[in-house]
Amino acid sequence: MYQYVGLIVLFPLIGLFINGFFGRKIKNETLVGMIGSAAVGLSFLVAAGIFVEMLGMPEDGRSHVVTLFTWIAAGSFKVSAAYQIDQLSILMTLVVTGVGFLIHVYSIGYMHGDRGFWRFFTYLNLFIFAMLNLVLADNYLLMFLGWEGVGLCSYLLIGFWYDKKFPGTGITWTGDAANKAFWVNRIGDFAFMIGMFLIFREFGSLTFREVMGGAETLAVGNNTMFWITLLLFIGATGKSAQIPLFIWLPDAMAGPTPVSALIHAATMVTAGVYMVARNSALYALAPTTMMIVAIVGALTAIMAASIGIAQNDIKKVLAYSTVSQLGYMFLALGVGAFTAGIFHVMTHAFFKACLFLGSGSVIHAMHEEQDIRHMGGLKKVMPKTYWTFLISSFAIAGFPPLSGFFSKDEILWKAFSDGSLVLWIIGASAALMTAFYMFRMVTLTFEGEPRWAKDKHPHESPATMTIPLIVLAGLAILGGFVGIPAVLGGGNAIEHWLHPVFAQAHHTMALSEHSSHTTEYLMMGISVVIAVTGFWFGRRMFLADPEADKRIAAKTGFLYRLLSNKYYVDEIYNGSVVRPLVRTSESFLYRVFDVRIIDGAVNGLAKTTGWVSAMMRYVQTGVVQNYAALVVLGLVVVLGLLIFS
Amino acid sequence: MNQLLTDTLHTAPIMGTIVLALVVILINAMKKDSLALEYWVSLIGIAANIGLAVWAFPLRGSAFAGTVMTGGFASLTAAVFLVAAGLTIILSRAYIEKIGVNFGEFFHLILMGAAGMMTFAAGTDLVVTFVGLELMSICLYALAGISRRVHKSNEAALKYFLLGAFASGFFLYGIALIYGMTGTTNILGIAQNIAAYKSEPLFLVGAGLLLVGFAFKIGAVPFHMWVPDVYEGSPTVVSAFMSTGAKAAAFAALLLVFTATFDFIHSSMNTVLSVLAVASMLVGNIVAISQTNVKRMLAYSSIGHAGYMLIGITAGGDVSMAGVLFYLISYMFTNLGAFGVASIIENAEQQGTDLENFRGLYYRRPLLAVLMGVFMFSLVGIPPLAGFFGKYYIFVAAIENGYTWLTIVGVITSMISVYYYLRVVVLMFFQAPEEAEAPQVTSGGTIALLVSAFGILLVGLFPSIVLGWMGGLF
């Protein structure tokens, strides 16, 4: 059935065309929503069918390449529109289409009454189409097409409400936020492209199979591999919001909340993680890059988590939380725990999508209010949202036996056993902060007394919104069971499943056997204690006093201001990069270089050509005798050249 | 007798077209007000003949004692001329009524011209080639002047005839010299001992004269002077047919004689061809800039395109020959479409094809403007339209055969051409609508234009299919 992989990509494309071309004419919102959702749902069914089929295949026969057509052929350069179905890509496909489907359904309720309803579903389908190309591609170029495609959709959807104000550093409209996301991503994409060019130069091919095959013969520490992997990783820091390019993600919250859930939490931002995992064999050859990846991941995790403590916008907290969780994933990749990274991608997709959709439900109920200081007591009026939000919060905080516990614990354990104690300490501290800010948010939003204005009447959201929440909460509970580690008597099914994909990398890295089980139990215990501590403080402090922030701010002074202002990173970038760039561009590049030199040359050339043209017209006299004379002259030239040259 | 039957059968597309042309003129002679009948008979007959061409495609070989090629190349080119004739006839139906030349012989001349083109392109004996050339040219002379009350049309016909006769003289003289040198007019026979003649001055002079004859028909600089005057003066649909069918036929014959048979690669002949190519690209594209009449602009543009195709002829080799054929097919659809739009815009006095008349066309006839946009973009060579791949294959072949400098000239002149092609687009879409009435569009005209645009897209999106037909043609 894997031959039908094209269908997975085709369905969203059909949905996109139907809604894109006829959506405006279809007056019925439900129909538009159903077309959009069904397109993704059908893709999910096909993917599930392929997955079931793969389960029945022998372990080393599960990887297939299905070529649709030759895309570009120029000399030795040949790229096909071909999809690679293996354990990794099918897992990503299931997450993208599965979670994507739920978010589509949710959007039917959330976007109800929006004048751009059909446009929204068109963009969403386009996104799914691009994302599927990204994860299913069998070569870098097609992957890059998807990579750019999701970037475009991200841009379109962040600025979806293009006439809405959205304050931020150097930003006033949602359109500015969309531009910021796009520009920052360009930096990463540029690095990705150079990495891709280097790959072609080094291996003479752009398909994953041939490149990985070529990588088998290379020695660890190869200098070219260092640059290739580093450039690809820079690409990933853009898409997956890591230091130093993470600044766009919090502002991406300007888009509608389902977008934040789908693109800026569950799927697109994990593309960088997927890409690094897909290239695990190359990364294994570059230990220096691996170290950089691990350090960047760990630093991003703790930096974003600390910022999350001091944010008051419900979506901003979740945004920083996403950045932080992505940091964990890169930490895992950096220490060679590729499976753990992908495992966390999956569980994170479940609980973070649930949290975002939950926040959307709250925002919906509160009539576009996003400040958690003006909420409180919502658990009574919207119990379904509350319970699903709570479950997901426990999951992200790492409470056993919820999904987040298994994946995060796996990462921390690998950071310790295959990395270093320092990495573990950073990761564990970030985990403490995670639990703290999550329960600060849960408490301020749902617990205690209502602090909202009297004219607001919050209510539970409709079923199209709550059913996806419940399903996702269920997944947040159960999703971790595919990765129960051996010490807890589990089979770690996901590690087993993904093993063939990462076998080459593991072989290259030749990781030592793990430390004793006692240490692993000990570490696990510490994890749980950390989660409970964070939960306890977060809940106690803010249940007792919803304005505890003020006390903390008064006590810690500068430190708190630093956090609430996001370490002033935006300001630093603006001052050091953006403004000088704009100034040079205006005063030199535009006024001198473009206007004087370029335009002058171009206009001069055009004028000259026009003059020559006008002159040559005069040759065309209209008199036949002249024409005949020219023919004879031409003949003389031709014969002269023939005989005497 | 049996041989004669086989030969006739294998050249079925040519024979069928001649029969069709005769049937049409007979209908015209015997029945009054028979234009509609002739129209439908022509179209159905053309469809049948395209079928014959497809049928004959695998029958590669020669007929009539080695004087005419059959199957393969001959079938492919025959199909191209038939499609061009068919589209021209569809476009003419309303046009000839509009300008008042709705005579039955119009269709007859187009069909006979197409038969001439097929013979021209399929002839493997220089005498047959010449007969084809003349059959085609005489039909076109008559067609150019068919609008006999219009001064410009008369002038065009006369100029075309005088200069055409002049060029035919060179052509014939070239054949004579080659015959004198080699003792045969069969190009395969000539090819057998080509190495011996290649550097003989007399043979070179003969080949040079022949080349001048070809260069005149394809409209290469400096033998191009008739092109703008004739294209502008002739009824627009006739210009369409001339600029596509006649040009394609001359190129196909040139390809067959000079590249496939004479095999002049890396000799002084190539110097001449490349000089013609560069001169055509430069003159055609640069002078097109200062034209204010769209028909005249398209005429200069066609000179420029002849230059691009000459690059392919110069480069030689299978890839570039396939590239030239590909270019001819894409150019056929594109230029027919462009002239077709002009023929619809034109008024009953055969005027109104100035750039000014395209101003704001989008607001009056959106579909027409969009189609014209497609044709212009294809002429520029913007992917994924057919025009892009035509240039692409020719340029690639030129670079591979060491003619990088020709490619550079080609790219630069393509950039120049963007200016005057896109000016039409800008006028149609971004300028205030003119007060003029919207031109009358008939369903036939729309269909012909849509078929052209569809052909451009199809060839552009799936170039490998078209290239597939050319596998092993040479």
The full set of domain ranges for chain A reads 2-564, 570-644
- Is the pLDDT at B266 greater than 60, yes or no? no
- Written as six digits, the tokens of B266 are 């890396």
**What would you report as the CA-atom Rg of chain A, rounded to the nearest whole angstrom?**
28
- Which band of pLDDT confidence, cut at 50, 70 and 90, is reported for residue A635? very high
Q: Do B268 and A642 touch (CB under 8 A)?
A: yes
Residue bearing the bigger pLDDT, A452 or A47:
A47
Alpha-carbon gap, residue A501 to B415, rounded angstroms: 48
Which residues on chain B are in Cβ contact (under 8 Å) with A608?
none
Shortest Cα distance, chain A CAs vs residue B443, angstroms: 25
Which of A605, A631, A636, A645 is most worth mutating to test chain B (most B CB atoms within 10 A of its CB)? A631
- Is the pLDDT at A457 greater than 90, yes or no? no
- Is the pLDDT at B51 greater than 70, yes or no? yes
Shortest Cα distance, chain A CAs vs residue B289, angstroms: 7
Q: Do A613 and B216 touch (CB under 8 A)?
A: no
Shortest Cα distance, chain A CAs vs residue B14, angstroms: 32
Name, in order, each residue with C-beta under 8 angstroms of B368's C-beta and a sequence gap of 6 or more. B341, B344, B345, B361, B439, B441, B449
* Three-state SS annotation for A446-494: HCCCCCCCCCCCCCCCCHHHHHHHHHHHHHHHHHHHHHCCHHHCCCCHH
Alpha-carbon gap, residue B304 to B390, rounded angstroms: 14
Which residues on chain A are in Cβ contact (under 8 Å) with B419?
606
pLDDT score, position A514: 60
- Is the pLDDT at B78 greater than 90, yes or no? yes
- Is the pLDDT at A242 greater than 90, yes or no? yes
Alpha-carbon gap, residue B227 to B243, rounded angstroms: 9
Select the residue of A617, A630, A641 nearest B272 (Cβ to Cβ): A641
B149-204 per-position pLDDT tens digit: 889 899 999 999 999 999 999 999 999 999 998 889 998 888 888 888 877 888 88
Which stretch of A368-372, A639-643, B133-137, B317-321 has the lowest confidence by average pLDDT? B317-321
Which of B170, B217, B229, B286 is most worth mutating to test chain A (most A CB atoms within 10 A of its CB)? B286
pLDDT score, position A570: 87
The whole-number average pLDDT for the span B328-337 is 94
Which residues on chain B are in Cβ contact (under 8 Å) with A614?
290
Q: What is the chain A residue with the closest CA to B417?
A: A609
Q: Do B290 and A633 touch (CB under 8 A)?
A: no
A553-604 per-position pLDDT tens digit: 888 888 888 888 888 888 888 888 888 888 888 888 888 888 888 888 888 8
Which residues on chain A are in Cβ contact (under 8 Å) with B282?
none
Q: Do B272 and A627 touch (CB under 8 A)?
A: no
Q: Is B167 on the interface with A (CB under 8 A)?
A: yes
Q: Do B272 and A642 touch (CB under 8 A)?
A: yes
Which B residues, 405 through 424, put their C-beta within 8 Å of a C-beta on chain A?
A: 416, 419
Shortest Cα distance, chain A CAs vs residue B204, angstroms: 7
Q: For chain A, what is the largest distance between any 2 Cα atoms, rounded to a whole number of angstroms?
A: 105
The distance of Cα A219 from the centroid of its chain, to the nearest Å, equals 32
- Written as six digits, the tokens of A219 are 């020695």
The whole-number average pLDDT for the span B24-44 is 91
Select the residue of B163, B211, B290 nearest A624 (Cβ to Cβ): B163
- Written as six digits, the tokens of A354 are 């649930």
pLDDT score, position B53: 94
pLDDT score, position B474: 63
A209-219 per-position pLDDT tens digit: 999 999 988 88
- Which band of pLDDT confidence, cut at 50, 70 and 90, is reported for residue A142? very high
pLDDT score, position A513: 58
Q: Do A641 and B204 touch (CB under 8 A)?
A: no
Nearest to A234 by CA among A291, A196, A190: A190
- Is the pLDDT at B48 greater than 90, yes or no? yes
- Is the pLDDT at B265 greater than 60, yes or no? no
Name, in order, each residue with C-beta under 8 angstroms of A281's C-beta and a sequence gap of 6 or more. A212, A215, A216, A504, A505, A508
Q: DSSP letters along A618-644, please?
A: TT----HHHHHHHHHHHHHHHHHHHHH
- Written as six digits, the tokens of A601 are 């040359």
Which residues of chain A have a Cβ shorter than 8 Å from any chain B Cβ?
70, 606, 609-610, 612-614, 616-617, 620, 622, 624, 626-628, 630-631, 633-635, 637-639, 641-643, 645
Q: Do B222 and A637 touch (CB under 8 A)?
A: yes
The distance of Cα B192 from the centroid of its chain, to the nearest Å, equals 30
- Which band of pLDDT confidence, cut at 50, 70 and 90, is reported for residue A193? very high
pLDDT score, position A267: 92
B267-293 per-position pLDDT tens digit: 788 889 999 999 999 999 999 988 899
pLDDT score, position A113: 86
Select the residue of B222, B269, B283 nearest A642 (Cβ to Cβ): B269
Which of B274, B287, B462 is most worth mutating to test chain A (most A CB atoms within 10 A of its CB)? B287
Q: How many CB pairs under 8 A join A and B?
A: 85
DSSP state of A252: G
Q: What is the ipTM of this complex?
A: 0.89
